A and B are shown apart, each in its own frame.
Chain A
Amino acid sequence: MRITVEQDRCVASGQCVLAAPELFDQRDEDGVVVLLRDEASPGQEESAREAARICPALAITVDER
């Protein structure tokens, strides 16, 4: 599974970090999403999907291929 983020959409809610702290972090200065790894391991896929679902800014895309 491949993960992409659009930093210019991000509203810094931090919901992705709550859902998948091993995949996402926030920049210190403005809270914008930082992708820690763009490939989710099988054990991380569900939390990656959850992060994409709950992001209030639609800034996260997961590609299941």
Chain B
Amino acid sequence: MTAPGHVVVVGAGAAGLSAAETLRREGYAGRLTFVGDEQAEPYDRPPLSKQLLSGDWDAGRLALRPRAALRGLDARWLLGHRATALDTAARTLTLGGGAVLHWDGLVVATGVTPRTLPGAAELAGVHHLRTLDDALRLREHLRTAGSLVVVGAGFLGAETAAVAREAGLRVTLVDPSPHPMGGLLGPVPGERLARLHRAHGVRLLGGTRVRGLAGERGRVTGVECSTGETLPADAVLVAIGSRPATDWLTGSGLILGDGVECDAYCRAADRVVAAGDAASWLHPRHGRMRVEHRMNATEQGVAAARVLIGTGAPFAPVPYFWTDQYDVKVQVYGVPGPGAAFRVVEGDAAGDRFAALYGQGGVVTAALAWNMPRQARLLRQQVAAATPWREAAGAPATASP
């Protein structure tokens, strides 16, 4: 499809933008259309639960590109439009208002939708955190609220708990896992995070399930736990994960599993690729996976776009993510995986800085750095190379990159 045609990018976030920029940069001269369900021009999401929520940054700082750069893409922007149906045989895309777009290439980059709790939509004071509007609403509420209960201690939950605590709110963080992010990072970093939150005064309820929300006259008053305890709350953040925003693809012929199922090239069908949080693809090393992280949105956007113009290759990144909580930055390369071996290779896991490797199947599968950013990058090499686990070791702090 190197001849001029029409590429439609569904989803105007980081993955969609990356795909579009790649198309233009690598010579695609045909028509280009963005369809995005939010009104906002492409913006960056990681700061939503960090600098934007804390008030350090205003919304303007989140723009993914200056407006001039967006104009330079020579694209048509259908923002505030939701895609509702896809026909891969007729190559059409239907929008909420009934408009139909014909395409020669399609990028699915619709991201994810937060999971919720029953009754959340009917109660004021219950928040989710996915969009800029969500974050601004939550920020506004945190200015006046005295207490916040965060349901779910993953990235968003743990980061929000930290921001709210630093703003002086009484914060309770509740999750069925024993430790924050424990399912993802394993018990040692999980316990360290738990200690961090407790040291900052968060009431941490690990191993605790939530039964539902309590409310009065349409406003939330608390969170009911399976233990029978009700946690009083002026504000509640429901951060119990998300699911791929792929409902609009039902009946399209695309395979929908945990996301849009693609091959190793991020191809979902002839002339259809997927990228970002909504894409499930066959990683040559790790098998089928879906990654909800910022770095992957950019990298997969590039990879998927190249497939559309005929220069694609199997997408085999070393996944990367980070989280900022209080004065701690945790960075992870690779896929830790449940049950992986864990070895601290620098510092002490009880201290303020350490780095560790994860191993599975006899090789290094992931690296974690706790306030040691240079080490994160240096240890990445062992993840990328699948270094034998018996040789896994710390990188010299003075090593050149």
Q: Give me the interface of A with B, judged by CB distance under 8 Å.
A: 9, 11-15, 17-18, 21, 25-26, 28, 30-32, 53-54, 56-58
Q: Does B31 contact A (CB under 8 A)?
A: no
Q: Other CB < 8 Å A-B pairs besides A21-B401, A28-B397, A54-B298, 4 of them?
A: A13-B331, A14-B373, A26-B374, A30-B373
Interface size on B, residues (CB 8 A): 26
User: How far, in angstroms, from A11 to B373 measured CA to CA in the complex?
Assistant: 9
Query: Does B295 lie within 8 Å of A31, measured CB to CB?
Result: no
User: How far, in angstroms, from A11 to B299 measured CA to CA in the complex?
Assistant: 17
User: How far, in angstroms, from A9 to B64 measured CA to CA in the complex?
Assistant: 12
Chain A interface helix/strand/loop/mixed: loop
Q: Does B377 contact A (CB under 8 A)?
A: yes
User: How far, in angstroms, from A57 to B57 measured CA to CA in the complex?
Assistant: 13
* Residues of chain B lying within 8 A (CB to CB) of residue A58: 44, 64
Query: Does B64 lie within 8 Å of A13, measured CB to CB?
Result: no
Query: Does A18 lie within 8 Å of B401, measured CB to CB?
Result: yes
Q: Give me the interface of B with A, judged by CB distance under 8 Å.
A: 18, 21, 44, 46, 61, 64, 294-295, 298-299, 302, 320, 322, 324, 329, 331, 371-374, 376-377, 380, 397, 400-401
* Residues of chain B lying within 8 A (CB to CB) of residue A25: 401
User: How far, in angstroms, from A15 to B374 measured CA to CA in the complex?
Assistant: 11
User: Given A31-B374, A58-B64, are A12 and B329 also a contact pair (CB < 8 Å)?
Assistant: yes
* Residues of chain B lying within 8 A (CB to CB) of residue A26: 373-374, 377
Please give the distance in Å from B26's CB to the nearest CB on chain A.
12
User: How far, in angstroms, from A58 to B401 measured CA to CA in the complex?
Assistant: 21
Query: Does A15 lie within 8 Å of B401, measured CB to CB?
Result: no
Query: Does A31 lie within 8 Å of B401, measured CB to CB?
Result: no
* Residues of chain A lying within 8 A (CB to CB) of residue B372: 31
